[in-house]
Amino acid sequence: MKKVLIIWLLILVIAALTFAAGEQEGKGTNKMVALRVWDRDSVMGDVVDQFNKKMQSEGKNIKAQFELIPYGQQVPKFMAAMAAGRAPDIYSLDLVQYPYFISIGAFKDITEEFEALPFKDELPQGILRLGKQNNKVYALPYEIDLSVLNWSKNMFRAAGLDPEKPPLTWDDLIKDSVSLTKDKNGDGNPDQWGFAEVGNNAGSYMFWFMPFIWGNNGRMFDDNGKVVFDSRESKEALQLWYDLIYKYKAAPVSSAQWSSGDRYNAFIAGKLGLFLSGNFYIKTIMKDAPDLDFGVTLIPHGKGKGATFGGGNLIGITSQSKHPAEAWEFIKFAFSKDVLVNNYAPKLMLIPRRDLYENKYYAKYPQMKKYQEILGHAITPYTYKYNQIYDPVLYYLQGSLLGKIKIDSAIKDLAVELKKVTK
Amino acid sequence: MNKRHSFYKLLIALPALLLSLLFLAPIAWSLISSIKHTADILKYPPILFPKNITLEQYIKLFRAGDGVFLLFIRNTIIMTTFTISLVLIISVLASYAFVSLPFKGSNFIFILILSIFMVPFQALLIPLYSILNKLRLLDTKVGMVLVYSTFFMPFCIFMFRNYFSGIPVSIRESARLDGASELTILLKFYLPLSLPAVATIVVYLFLETWNDFVLSLIFSSSNNVKNIQVGIMNFGRQRFQSDWGIINSGSIFSLLPTIIIFLMLQKYYIQGMTAGASKE
Amino acid sequence: MTLGQLASKNRMGLLFMLPSLSLLVVFFLFPLTQVLYMSFQDWNVMGSSTWEGINNYIKALGSGEFWLSLWNTFIYTVIVTPLIFVPAILLAVMLKKTTFRTEVMRVVIFIPFTISFVSASYIWSWIYNDTYGILNFLLSKIDLISRPVNWLGETWRARVMISIMVAWKTLGFSMLIFISGLQSISQEIYEAADIDGASRIQTLFLITIPILRPTIFLALVISIAGSFKAFDQFFIMTNGGPMRTTQTIVMYINKIAFENYDMGTGSAVSVLFLILLLSISYQQIRMGGYTGE
């Protein structure tokens, strides 16, 4: 017992010493303007480091500190910080959160600064719209995410399909999914699937299912924000997804319960041929499954044109920031050519400035060319209550894919809920 | 008789063996996955016994973010040590007061302390954040230790109070007659009799603090305060998929110290037991 | 004892409690009063709030989702509690004597408890996956199932499978509490029972469990409070699906407060939840014989 006590005391003393040392480190930055930068993507950490180096070499007393905010915590942590009057200076947050947070005054008006930017017309306008309110600009598109379809050329070859011809229309999608679904070991159950649906998360339905409705000339909101979801176009899109599971048996029922990670893992494992994907998967697929030969295409369309969901982050200065001028200096730096091309392009992340797409990193991959083209198709629904539409979206869409709600009433009831929420 | 005995032994040993396998299997699977090459982790059919093993996933964990994981380990060790010490001290004191120095309203305080255990953290998040900010304790190790201590002390106080009330009143009565101070009675008689409780509580506090995720996630911002679990999830969880290599290697790594602590204390916990019994 | 002595004893007791009392006040009671205050307000975290009266409570109690979440949480607690306690008590009885073998077994059973809930949930959701998970792979290898089972896809199955994960993770801890309780039972009682010719099962039900009662209640209070506060495992493994049937009450609080940005109603649900859990626990503690000392 004595020995344990002595060890314990020793640890305590050492810990106390390092404790004191650690607290000391924090001091001495009093004169500096400290900018707090939050982002859900770690690449921003590198940008912050480069910014600090530049400031140091220019002799400016500005130092940025980066904090990674996990995706699931980006709202709670922001709300807690705002309530305490301690919001970060700069926040790169999921774009769908902006309309609400701008409406409660959480972000600073940067219209003037924006108008002075030489590349302001190169930013994707459809996405910028979420950072605007009453003709004022509060936030700019920074990291772009687009929903697409990946197809496994390996599995296309094995199934006797042309590996260079991805499905473009709903009919193609049905045909290919059926041919890709196979029972290889003959136990009566498919062990490889053509298609998989988007599962247990509302954001995924918005990101991957909505483009099916758009590609069928349907919409969720019209230009004035009115709910126009209850339409034949929406029903047909949902019917297609339903049929892929129950009629054509080309997608597992359970995929209506999967997370995106599950779908990704199935694609990597060679158990899924057509993968509802996004630009953010390209690099990881190449790393996790180097032998997988895959292509990128638009999400198949019905009677309309192929569509994609414009997602990602906007970046803005919070209204609680005490150093808005320095924060703008940081944002300008983050949008500079060197920063975007050297930090984001090598990771094959999509950059916000269209004038920078012709770069040596994208040039190496044919898939990236496709993205440049797809960017023009991007649509993002606009609503103040984005988060509140999440819950009914998941409930009704997943419910109908699990066979618990009839398709017609799912669409009708969801439209009613949407009207209630956005009223 | 003997035959029957060995039959019993076999009867007990067989399910025990199966049971151990069952308990270890998920962890073994995680361990196996943590020593695979990245490309092998998600292969299907799953590779149960990988031929080429590698420490790649562990190296990735320690290299992530310029090796900041080492700093997270240091932070976690410091915070865990202080939390355990603080909670042990304050809960022993409080429990002793509840048992042998009760006053009007002390039972009510006890219920209040227990109710800490009943509140989901999500409910208190925003006001707690504001208070830490006002006290300038946000994003500091001291603040983390105090929050941990608050949320983890109810169990410990409950446990000690339980143990202390099992100790015969005559012990403290006679000590008081001898003129011993309350603190002396606590340290000389009550504490030595409660060593098993101490061992259980140290294990409990270690696990709670070491494995904390949400509290650290919300209340810490700088790398000087973040803990191991936040580190693993920061490196291992990306927006739409996970780096299973890092999640597995991280889980296995953070498991090691907890197992060691338990193995160490399991012995004392038994010793404390026998010591307590022999004094009666 | 004189009055002065009594007063000094009281002061002494208060002094001993002071450290934990200050933590209680600063980091619990004070935030709690704010939650209570917020539950009567409409507040968007920026700027001022407006008085709402009991509207938030009416909104919460009138929402079907509130009752559904409560029901889900209750059902989960009912499933998971015996899954933890029955094996934990049996194992504690089996492993109460300290030999090399029982020590090894104790460690093995305790190991899952040392993993964090977040890690465990990820590892298990990977194991449970119907298409590439190892559970279906192994079960089909030994021909126990003929088609892949969607473990987390159906309400009841998901509840049971998550409960199994939780039992796996936590029963080692309850077992330890029971062992420490069992070891304090004097051996003579068992010897006497043995002489009387009591069978093992009789001993278990007539001696061990009654004597263990306070310990069992202690473990029950902890376990039930834990089940009521369940969040991580459901958030990660099912995200409340299918159709909100595995959405727990804490997930619901999280959803109203941070997805719907409605702090007022979120706080009102928190207050209701606290009252409920406190009254349940109080009953348990009373039944365990902890009050009135």
What are the CA-CA distances from residue A384 to residues A104, A273, B205, C252, C256 (Å)?
A: 10, 37, 43, 21, 16
ipTM above 0.95, yes or no: no
Range of the domain at C73: 56-287
Angstroms from B150 CA to nearest CA on chain A: 19
Query: Do A15 and B268 count as a contact with CB atoms less than 8 A apart?
Result: no
pLDDT at C22 > cutoff 60: yes
Query: Do B101 and C250 count as a contact with CB atoms less than 8 A apart?
Result: no
Count: domains in chain C: 1
What average pLDDT does this structure show over A355-373?
85
The per-residue pLDDT of chain B, averaged, comes to 84
pLDDT at B17 > cutoff 50: yes
User: Residue C162 and residue C231: Cα distance in Å, rounded?
Assistant: 12
Domains, chain A, in order of start with CATH, read 32-144+311-371 (3.40.190.10), 146-309+381-422 (3.40.190.10)
Q: Are strands A139-152 and A294-297 parallel, antiparallel or unpaired?
A: antiparallel
In this complex, the residue of A76, A284, A287 whose CB is nearest that of residue B218 is: A76
Closest residue in chain C to residue A102, using alpha carbons only:
C46
Residue with the larger pLDDT of the pair B147 and C281: B147
Rounded to 5°, the CA angle A54-A56-A62 comes to 90
What is residue B75's predicted lDDT score, i.e. its pLDDT? 95
- C91: domain CATH number? 1.10.3720.10
What average pLDDT does this structure show over B202-231?
89
Angstroms from B44 CA to nearest CA on chain C: 6
pLDDT at A49 > cutoff 80: yes
Query: Do A11 and B222 count as a contact with CB atoms less than 8 A apart?
Result: no
What average pLDDT does this structure show over A327-332?
96
Rounded to 5°, the CA angle A364-A370-A372 comes to 90
Query: Do C16 and B122 count as a contact with CB atoms less than 8 A apart?
Result: no
* Chain B residues within 8 A of C273 when measuring between CB atoms: 120, 123
| Domain-embedded: residue C213 | yes
pLDDT at A387 > cutoff 80: no
| Domain-embedded: residue C1 | no
The residues pairing with C217 across neighbouring beta strands, listed in sequence order, are: none
CA dihedral A152→A158→A159→A165, nearest 10 degrees, is 50
* Chain A residues within 8 A of B129 when measuring between CB atoms: 80-81, 83-84
Query: Do C225 and B118 count as a contact with CB atoms less than 8 A apart?
Result: yes
pLDDT at C285 > cutoff 80: no
Token pair of C182 as six digits: 């069992």
User: Residue C22 and residue C3: Cα distance in Å, rounded?
Assistant: 27
What is residue A78's predicted lDDT score, i.e. its pLDDT? 92
| Domain-embedded: residue C43 | no
Token pair of B205 as six digits: 């506090």
What average pLDDT does this structure show over B7-33?
82
Those of residues 328-357 in A touching chain C at CB distance below 8 A are none
* pLDDT tier, B47 (very low <50, low <70, confident <90, very high otherwise): confident
Residues C160-196: tens digit of each pLDDT = 999 999 999 999 888 887 887 787 777 777 778 777 7
Burial class (CB in 10 A: 0-12, 13-18, 19+), A364: exposed
Dihedral of alpha carbons A225, A229, A233, A238, sign = positive
What is residue A269's predicted lDDT score, i.e. its pLDDT? 87
Task: For residue A150, give the nearest of A255, A263, A257 by alpha carbon.
Answer: A263
User: Residue B87 and residue C242: Cα distance in Å, rounded?
Assistant: 41
Those of residues 305-364 in A touching chain B at CB distance below 8 A are none
Closest residue in chain A to residue B195, using alpha carbons only:
A1
What are the CA-CA distances from residue A180 to residues A260, A284, A409, C213 (Å)?
A: 20, 23, 31, 60
pLDDT at B161 > cutoff 50: yes
pLDDT at A208 > cutoff 70: yes
Scanning the structure block, which residue is given the tokens 């949320």? Answer: B151
CA dihedral B20→B23→B25→B26, nearest 10 degrees, is -170
* Chain B residues within 8 A of C189 when measuring between CB atoms: none
Question: Which has the minimum average pLDDT: B169-173, B192-196, B251-255, C182-186?
Answer: C182-186
What is residue B92's predicted lDDT score, i.e. its pLDDT? 94
Residues B226-247: tens digit of each pLDDT = 999 988 888 877 666 678 888 8
User: Residue B120 and residue B7: Cα distance in Å, rounded?
Assistant: 49
User: Residue A257 and residue A262: Cα distance in Å, rounded?
Assistant: 9
Residues B258-271: tens digit of each pLDDT = 888 888 887 665 54
Query: Do B42 and A268 count as a contact with CB atoms less than 8 A apart?
Result: yes
User: Residue A255 and residue A261: Cα distance in Å, rounded?
Assistant: 11
Domain boundaries along the sequence of chain B = 30-279
What average pLDDT does this structure show over A73-88?
88
A46 touches chain B (CB under 8 A): no
What average pLDDT does this structure show over A323-336?
95
Scanning the structure block, which residue is given the tokens 């419910």? Answer: A399
Residue with the larger pLDDT of the pair A187 and C77: C77
pLDDT at C293 > cutoff 60: no
Query: Do B259 and C107 count as a contact with CB atoms less than 8 A apart?
Result: yes
A20 touches chain B (CB under 8 A): no
Q: Is residue B253 within 8 Å of C135, Cβ to Cβ? A: no
What is residue B280's predicted lDDT score, i.e. its pLDDT? 29
What is residue B2's predicted lDDT score, i.e. its pLDDT? 56
Distance of CA A295 to the CA centre of its chain: 20
pLDDT at C148 > cutoff 70: yes
pLDDT at C227 > cutoff 70: yes
What is residue C8's predicted lDDT score, i.e. its pLDDT? 73
Residue with the larger pLDDT of the pair C286 and B28: B28
Query: Do B126 and A79 count as a contact with CB atoms less than 8 A apart?
Result: yes
Q: Is residue A335 within 8 Å of A119, Cβ to Cβ? A: yes
Query: What is the Cα Rg of chain A in Å?
Result: 24
What is residue B68's predicted lDDT score, i.e. its pLDDT? 87
What average pLDDT does this structure show over C50-59?
90
| Domain-embedded: residue C263 | yes
Query: Do B158 and C31 count as a contact with CB atoms less than 8 A apart?
Result: no
Residues B100-125: tens digit of each pLDDT = 888 888 888 988 898 888 888 888 88
What is residue A169's predicted lDDT score, i.e. its pLDDT? 96
pLDDT at C89 > cutoff 50: yes
What is residue A172's predicted lDDT score, i.e. its pLDDT? 95
What are the CA-CA distances from residue B246 to residues A392, B117, C1, C123, C137 (Å)?
A: 34, 32, 64, 12, 23
Angstroms from A394 CA to nearest CA on chain C: 8
Most confident of A64-73, A307-316, B63-72, C279-288: A307-316
Angstroms from B79 CA to nearest CA on chain C: 17
| Domain-embedded: residue C130 | yes
Q: Is residue A168 within 8 Å of A300, Cβ to Cβ? A: yes
pLDDT at C215 > cutoff 60: yes
What average pLDDT does this structure show over A208-236?
92
What average pLDDT does this structure show over C22-29?
93
pLDDT at C33 > cutoff 80: yes
The chains in contact with chain B, meaning 3 or more Cβ pairs closer than 8 Å, are A, C
pLDDT at B97 > cutoff 90: yes
What average pLDDT does this structure show over A206-216?
95
Q: Name residue A346's amino acid.
A: P
pLDDT at A28 > cutoff 50: no
Percent over 70 (pLDDT), chain A: 93
pLDDT at A160 > cutoff 80: yes
| Domain-embedded: residue C293 | no
In this complex, the residue of B115, B123, B232 whose CB is nearest that of residue C270 is: B123
What is residue A322's predicted lDDT score, i.e. its pLDDT? 93
Give the helix/strand (H/E) hosting C44. Answer: none
What is residue C199's predicted lDDT score, i.e. its pLDDT? 80
Q: Is residue B210 within 8 Å of B228, Cβ to Cβ? A: yes
Q: Is residue A396 within 8 Å of A405, Cβ to Cβ? A: yes
* Chain C residues within 8 A of B269 when measuring between CB atoms: 180
What are the CA-CA distances from residue C286 to residues A59, B48, C217, C229 (Å)?
A: 68, 50, 10, 21
* pLDDT tier, B278 (very low <50, low <70, confident <90, very high otherwise): very low
Percent over 90 (pLDDT), chain C: 30
What is residue A318's predicted lDDT score, i.e. its pLDDT? 96
Those of residues 259-278 in B touching chain C at CB distance below 8 A are 259, 262-263, 266, 269-270, 273, 277
Scanning the structure block, which residue is given the tokens 């038994």? Answer: B270
Closest residue in chain B to residue C186, using alpha carbons only:
B277
* pLDDT tier, C78 (very low <50, low <70, confident <90, very high otherwise): very high
| Domain-embedded: residue C261 | yes
* Chain A residues within 8 A of C259 when measuring between CB atoms: 75, 387-388, 390-391
What is residue A187's predicted lDDT score, i.e. its pLDDT? 74
Question: Which has the minimum average pLDDT: A194-208, A391-405, B77-91, C125-139?
Answer: C125-139
User: Residue C238 and residue C56: Cα distance in Å, rounded?
Assistant: 28
What is residue A217's predicted lDDT score, i.e. its pLDDT? 94
Q: Which residues contact B199 (CB under 8 A, 6 or more apart)?
A: B265, B266, B268, B269, B272
Site from C131, C144, C150 to mutate, A interface, most A CB atoms within 10 angstroms: C131
Q: Which residues contact C100 (CB under 8 A, 6 or more apart)?
A: none
What is residue C162's predicted lDDT score, i.e. its pLDDT? 94
pLDDT at A24 > cutoff 50: no
In this complex, the residue of A15, A45, A70 whose CB is nearest that of residue B81 is: A15
Tally C-beta pairs within 8 A across B and C.
229
pLDDT at A26 > cutoff 50: no
pLDDT at A21 > cutoff 70: no
Closest residue in chain C to residue B94, using alpha carbons only:
C17
Taking each helix axis as running N to C, give the angle between helix A74-83 and helix B121-134, from 0 to 180 degrees, rounded to the nearest 10. Answer: 40
Question: Which has the minimum average pLDDT: A161-165, A263-267, A384-388, B211-215?
Answer: A384-388
B30-279 homologous superfamily? MetI-like (1.10.3720.10)
Rounded to 5°, the CA angle A85-A86-A90 comes to 120
Angstroms from A132 CA to nearest CA on chain B: 25
Angstroms from C16 CA to nearest CA on chain B: 5
What is residue B279's predicted lDDT score, i.e. its pLDDT? 32
pLDDT at B44 > cutoff 80: no
The residues pairing with A169 across neighbouring beta strands, listed in sequence order, are: A301
